Structure 1
Amino acid sequence: MNWNKLLCNRNELQLLGTLNGGQSFRWTHNEDKDEWTGIFSKTVWKLKQSEDFLHYQIIGSLKKLPETKTSKGANESNFEMMLKKYFRLELPLTKYYEEWSEKDALFKTACKQFYGIRMLAQEPIENLFSFICSQNNHISRISSMVEKLCTFYGEEICEYDGVKYYSFPDVNKLSGSQVEQKLRELGFGYRAKFIQKSAAQIVEWGGEEWFDTLQNMKYKDARQELMKLCGIGPKVADCICLMSLNHLEALPVDTHVYQIAAHNYLPHLRGKKNVTDKMYTEIGDYFRHLYGDMAGWAHTVLFCADLKKFQTNDTSDIDNSKPKKKRKK
């Protein structure tokens, strides 16, 4: 299979930091070939990089692309547009890195190694339910849960090298009354209820079109609407705002973000056992003042640097949406 290529310098996109930094959970890395295989937009992709190009293959797709006399060229053009949108390649990242470096000495140091960290433009449905799975969880288990959702409720896209690939399910498929019980059997625990109830709420409020209204709202209003969903606390709401609703000032505050803030910027917050709502707001507002209207993206670079080359898989959630466990007597 031939590789298509898209002009994109490495400084503008680093696949490792972008695809392995806890934004999406559907990418795997073949280290021997330095190739990535993943799924978005009901399409299975294979990606690799050279110095000036992003190379890609389409392994399979459920997308119905318009037919023309030069259908192959048209298809490639459509897939290229999907890829540009997913990585937000229309935004000049090197320019933003320079601006953020001028504002913050810590960012200036971190960005030397963690260049090209892109904020993915994900589909809201996948983003929301993936981050419900992320609560009090680690990356390998989150990835396993997301794949179970796709295998049991998504559509098969294709089979490649003995592996079947599935699309992320439509919200209607997750809203059924039997979904919670099935997910509990599959090991989702309390998250099973959050997934089914949230899906039912979204269907009731208009389905995927409901997310369009959130995109057009101001950030904090959209965040407030998301927190009306079952099991969605401040951090998950901010993840969705940042990663799929184009509110790039949203800043999810988890354990790592709190530690970065307390150690480097807000020393009066050091040593706190819990992040209160007031502290959560203070941290987010501090970085929004520092970096501007793309603060969530800028801080993602610091987050990646804090993970120390991704040697840790901890993505502990400080949302208060998890029910307290009762000790067995």
Structure 2
Amino acid sequence: MKIVEENNNVIIKDLEHFNIMQTLECGQCFRFYKIEDLDYLIIAFGRILRIQQEDNQITLYNTTMNEFNKIWREYLDLNNDYECIKETLLKNNQDLHQAIKSKWGIHILKQDTWETLISFIISQNKHITHIKKVIEIISLAYGDKIGSYNGIDYYSFPTPEQLAIATDEGLRACKTGFRAPYILDASQKVVKGEIDIQQIKKITTDEARKKLISIKGVGNKIADCVLLYGLGRTETFPTDVWIKRIVENMYLKQESKLEAIQEFAAKQFGDYAGYAQQYLFYYGRENRIGK
């Protein structure tokens, strides 16, 4: 991998094991907009980034090397050796071969913990298109304008303080539905210090999960999504109906409780369970495995 800065763009050459479409559209994040094939706009960390891929080269537009090293290198998880990750998973798990072969370019993004928490609270019983729209409406209503692209204004994801002063009625007007009190509870708990986002980053995965599920509307699945996508705890294996059916169909060959799915994933995939989950989820959903 070679990284250069040219004309206020950062260009990464010879980048293997990465595909921007698979990474953004695998269900782990929601603030992206497709311009055309392998060309996207990402809204993250209060910034607007256009990122385009051509073969093994990606271009990050209007970005300095300093900003790339400070934000985007980590966000895109470019420091991890995905060849090693995939080889490790396949050593004792040939059943993953087709999923990894098909979705070879997924990276697990390192997202903002707070935004990930609220985004997955919103995600309950919603399709990705709807989730993206609600987050966009909330950002417009409560966030700050961060810039424009092609005449369209974009807004930062609201801070805990900005959402804590919202009302149930106001949030429901943003199409959040029954999730409105959950968003308020999370926001108020963070503002009051009952949930310390910085502390959660430092404690064990089990302790962090317990903290997260103390928030109204947050169960194990949402907590595990926050742990994986917002805290980088790659030993977690978020389990919803889709991933449950996929694991039952591909591995267990019988209907199983969620606890059994979790135990299987921990034993089978270990510290790389989160990566396995992404390959299985995206591949299984697209191929309707277990449907």
Q: Indicate whether the TM-score tops 0.5.
A: yes
* Structure 1 Cα separation of the partners of residues 221 and 144 of structure 2: 29
Residue 16 of structure 1 aligns with which residue?
21
Partner of 1:242, secondary structure, is helix
Deviations 1:15-41 (A, max 9, x none): 11110111111111122x531111111
Where in structure 1 do 4 or more consecutive aligned residues deviate above 4 Å?
none
TM, length-normalised to structure 1: 0.81
Residue 55 of structure 1 aligns with which residue?
59
Partner of 2:177, secondary structure, is coil
* Structure 1 Cα separation of the partners of residues 34 and 82 of structure 2: 23
Q: How far 1:206 sits from its partner (Å)? A: 6.0
Residue 171 of structure 2 aligns with which residue?
183
Q: How far 1:263 sits from its partner (Å)? A: 0.9
Residue 261 of structure 1 aligns with which residue?
247
Retained in 1: the 8 A contact 2:8–2:62? no
Deviations 1:132-190 (A, max 9, x none): 110011111100100011101111011221200111111111111x4321011232111
Is residue 2:269 matched to residue 1:283? no
Moved more, 130-139 or 108-117: 108-117
Q: How far 1:80 sits from its partner (Å)? A: 3.8
* Structure 2 Cα separation of the partners of residues 93 and 112 of structure 1: 13
Deviations 1:253-299 (A, max 9, x none): 111111011112122326xxxxxxxx222211211211111211222
- What is the one-letter code of the residue matched to 2:39? E
Give the counterpart of 1:130 among 112, 119, 127.
119
CA RMSD of aligned residues (A): 2.0
Moved more, 213-222 or 113-122: 213-222
- What is the one-letter code of the residue matched to 2:176? F
Residue 46 of structure 1 aligns with which residue?
50
Partner of 1:85, secondary structure, is helix
How many residues are treated as equivalent by the alignment? 283
Partner of 2:254, secondary structure, is helix
Q: How far 1:211 sits from its partner (Å)? A: 1.8
Moved more, 17-26 or 33-42: 33-42
Give the counterpart of 1:86 among 50, 70, 75.
75
* Structure 1 Cα separation of the partners of residues 135 and 213 of structure 2: 21
TM, length-normalised to structure 2: 0.91
Moved more, 15-24 or 101-110: 101-110
- What is the one-letter code of the residue matched to 1:85? E
Counterparts of 1:58-137 in structure 2, within 5 Å, are 58=62, 75-137=64-126
Is residue 2:140 matched to residue 1:154? no
Instruction: Identify unmatched segments of 5+ residues in structure 2.
Output: 1-6
Q: How far 1:198 sits from its partner (Å)? A: 1.2
- What is the one-letter code of the residue matched to 2:136? E
Q: How far 1:56 sits from its partner (Å)? A: 0.7
Q: How far 1:112 sits from its partner (Å)? A: 1.2
Residue 180 of structure 2 aligns with which residue?
192
Q: How far 1:2 sits from its partner (Å)? A: 5.8
Give the counterpart of 1:303 among 266, 281, 286.
281
- What is the one-letter code of the residue matched to 1:247? R
- What is the one-letter code of the residue matched to 1:14? N
Instruction: Identify unmatched segments of 5+ residues in structure 1.
Output: 60-74, 271-278, 312-329
| Bigger radius of gyration among the two | 1
Retained in 2: the 8 A contact 1:100–1:108? no
- What is the one-letter code of the residue matched to 2:49? W
Taking every aligned residue pair, what percent have the same amino acid on both sides?
Answer: 27
* Structure 2 Cα separation of the partners of residues 138 and 8 of structure 1: 35
Give the counterpart of 1:241 among 216, 227, 248.
227
* Structure 1 Cα separation of the partners of residues 167 and 79 of structure 2: 39
Retained in 1: the 8 A contact 2:143–2:158? yes
Q: How far 1:7 sits from its partner (Å)? A: 3.6
* Structure 1 Cα separation of the partners of residues 254 and 147 of structure 2: 53
Is residue 2:33 matched to residue 1:28? yes
* Structure 2 Cα separation of the partners of residues 255 and 90 of structure 1: 32
- What is the one-letter code of the residue matched to 2:148? E
